[in-house]
Structure 1
Amino acid sequence: MLDTSPGFGLSILLVTYNHESYIERALESLFKQDFFGAIELVIADDASTDNTLARIRAYEGVDSRFSFKYLSCDTNIGITKNYQRGFGACTGQYVAVLEGDDYWISPGKLSRQVEFLNEHWECDLCSVNYFIFYEDNSSFVERAPIGAGHRLLGARELIMDNLVGNFSTCMYRKTALDRLPVELFEVKSYDWIVNICVATGSLIGFIEEPMSVYRVHSSGAWSNFAHIEKLQLQLDLIPTYDGITRQMYHTEFTRLEHDLRGVILLARGERLAGNMVRPALLSLTRLRMFIPPIIITIFQALMPPILTKLFLKIARRGRM
């Protein structure tokens, strides 16, 4: 059970910035939750220039469970500082996050997470499986295999694979957010490093049932970066994150750094090779009908596997 003392057992941190096109679906998914009890809704809008706030205000009073609490939105302070003040403003025993361009797909998400944290004192964070929605081609992909159980993750597992993935899947104990290092909010920090810091003193529960949708769209704070830019940003921040966590996970960060460098090198090679090779592939395709099969077999056998893989990727893209 949640704490029944005066105040809120649950806070929802709604983080928004120019989410006019998405915010109503996010709010509908929030107000349809089957959670019973008072809910503090903290709106951390980062000075939106569209009608995001007006659409949020239209929901005031429609559900007696919710008490609206608006943070100042006169100046854009950036995503990291916006989260810092948002976490600080929440007063509930538990804090769930919903970003304005995401939405929840299970009415039992909040009650399930509260139940999990009540039963698992070893966890300060409960996350859920989710679908990634690619807006450009309207496709959904589950982040992890769908199941009926849960997993327990540590910081080391999270460093190597950010299974939690985004803030909208998360519910925290407020005490864990209060312990986050101040220096975390002096650099560019997303869900990954916040959750690694939370996991320095606890485990993370990951419920395998998908209960949330993470949108990938052109105006997203993270998804609008190109693939190589995302990798490079993550790589550049690793030494800082290693310092914030007092080198406790230096081995894991070093291994990740090595892996990222390799992936970036391959991605840049694909881009360069694609620009150089793709025009030639059309000519090679036409020439193939005149080349004896034995010559093609010998060429494929002698070509290094990594080059074969690269050429196949480029060839596929060239046919798209």
Structure 2
Amino acid sequence: MSFSAEWSDRPAVTVCVITYNQESYIEEALESILMQETNFNVHLLIHDDCSTDRTPDIIRRYQKQYPDQIEAILQKENQFSQGVRIQGEILAPRVKTAFAALNEGDDFWLDPHKLQIQYDYMMANPDCAACCHAATQVSSDGKKTGFDMRIEFEPEDEDRDLEMPFLIDKGSKAPTNSYFYRAELGKEGFPEFYNGCAVGDYPMILYFASQGKVHFMNRIMSAYRHNAKGSWTRSWVIDPAVYVRTNESISQMLKKFDKYTEGRYHNEIKIKLNIYKFENLLTKRDLKGLKEEPYASLYKALPLKRRVRFQLSSRLRLLHGIKRKLDIKRYGGS
């Protein structure tokens, strides 16, 4: 896809920030954007989804301090709970600069040259739709966990373009706060397959890759906060049912993406759909379903320790159910 010269000539970068009930983190997120050293102006577009804590007050303070740089949307009603995808339906169409960068209210950037590095690359590569980079993971209190979010290539320090089959299988392996894309891709919002999905980063990177090249920079320039209060990852770690519903939502997204791309990646998508179904069968302890192909073969491919652990937990669950039924009968229940 060739991108419009008119868009490339616009003012440089808008940073879209999505936040909800993140009073403990939002200042660090905003300061990490404001510290950026660039040879262009940076515009901040912040969306607060009707937070019930002090997050809106903090945003108002920053907006008052930087009135020419910060634009805030402070919702009176929560939009996400009504099925609205904030980035795709609200923020992306409002961006008037040539490029958009993403951050979330509980994450933060580390490298003061991050935006300049990504901007320079995109300007030098007009066929590139988006770029992303490696990040380090931190705990809810900001301490490094020792885990980095990066794509493992050989040699390890290599940057490279990410092909669609890889992205369908693995995602970008980079957090949303590393995304930097050509804003014209969102001028009319993102496609329907994105807006209907429970997660945003996966369908977004697939959309970018369907429009042009996606480039990965194997350089840590941001921090991703793992298991933060209010985060999506925390919700499915605590509640397996949320994990199952999320997998089902992603599966529906992939089916729509298959139609959007007119079946060009049908085989890769079919394999990924089988994997999501397999993960849900494991999560639900569905022994009957796991005996069917292709899930039986996927189960056999699991490490022995994980298979043993799964079998033990399934048997304990079965015994607990039998004991509960006997107790109900013993004490006259129904």
Superposed pair shares fold, TM > 0.5: yes
Q: How does 1:95-244 map to 2 (within 5 A)?
A: 95-135=100-140, 139-144=145-150, 145=152, 148-178=157-187, 181-184=190-193, 186-188=195-197, 190-217=200-227, 218-226=229-237, 228-229=243-244, 230-244=246-260
Aligned to 1:295: none
**What RMSD over aligned residues (CA atoms) do the two structures have, in Å?**
3.5
Counterpart secondary structure, 1:58: helix
C-alpha contact 1:13 1:98 (8 A) present in aligned 2: yes
Counterpart secondary structure, 1:18: coil
Counterpart secondary structure, 1:8: coil
**Alignment partner for residue 92 of structure 1, among 97, 102, 117?**
97
**Are residue 309 (structure 1) and residue 315 (structure 2) matched?**
no
1:49-102 deviation line (CA, Å, top 9, x unaligned): 2111211222236568x5121225122111743212101111111110111111
The offset of 1:253, in angstroms, is: 0.9
Q: Where does the alignment leave 5 or more consecutive residues of structure 2 unmatched?
A: 288-299, 314-334
Q: Pick closer, same or farther for the CA change 1:220–1:5 going to 2, 3 Å.
A: closer
Comparing 94-103 with 74-83, which one deviates more in the overlay?
74-83
**Alignment partner for residue 259 of structure 1, among 258, 275, 281?**
275
Q: Pick closer, same or farther for the CA change 1:7–1:178 going to 2, 3 Å.
A: closer
Return the alpha-carbon distance in structure 2 between the equivalents of residues 176 and 182 of structure 1.
10
Aligned to 2:85: 81
C-alpha contact 2:137 2:147 (8 A) present in aligned 1: yes
Q: Pick closer, same or farther for the CA change 1:94–1:6 going to 2, 3 Å.
A: closer
Q: Pick closer, same or farther for the CA change 1:40–1:310 going to 2, 3 Å.
A: closer
Return the alpha-carbon distance in structure 2 between the equivalents of residues 137 and 33 of structure 1.
20
The offset of 1:39, in angstroms, is: 1.7
Letter paired with 1:111: Q
C-alpha contact 2:194 2:253 (8 A) present in aligned 1: no
The offset of 1:9, in angstroms, is: 1.3
C-alpha contact 1:132 1:141 (8 A) present in aligned 2: yes
1:31-64 deviation line (CA, Å, top 9, x unaligned): 1111232222111111112111211222236568
Return the alpha-carbon distance in structure 2 between the equivalents of residues 159 and 6 of structure 1.
32
Return the alpha-carbon distance in structure 2 between the equivalents of residues 5 and 254 of structure 1.
37
Q: TM-score, normalised by structure 1?
A: 0.76
Q: Pick closer, same or farther for the CA change 1:133–1:313 going to 2, 3 Å.
A: farther
Letter paired with 2:254: I
C-alpha contact 2:17 2:103 (8 A) present in aligned 1: yes
The offset of 1:10, in angstroms, is: 1.0
Return the alpha-carbon distance in structure 1 between the equivalents of residues 247 and 25 of structure 2.
27
**Alignment partner for residue 58 of structure 1, among 52, 58, 61?**
61
Q: Pick closer, same or farther for the CA change 1:69–1:308 going to 2, 3 Å.
A: closer
**Are residue 26 (structure 1) and residue 29 (structure 2) matched?**
yes
Q: Where does the alignment leave 5 or more consecutive residues of structure 1 unmatched?
A: 272-303
**Alignment partner for residue 264 of structure 2, among 237, 248, 254?**
248
Aligned residue pairs, count: 284
Q: Percent identity?
A: 22
Q: TM-score, normalised by structure 2?
A: 0.73
1:141-186 deviation line (CA, Å, top 9, x unaligned): 1112495441101222211001244321111111222366542455
Aligned to 2:317: none
Letter paired with 2:181: Y
Return the alpha-carbon distance in structure 1 between the equivalents of residues 52 and 96 of structure 2.
28
Of structures 1 and 2, the larger Rg is shown by 1
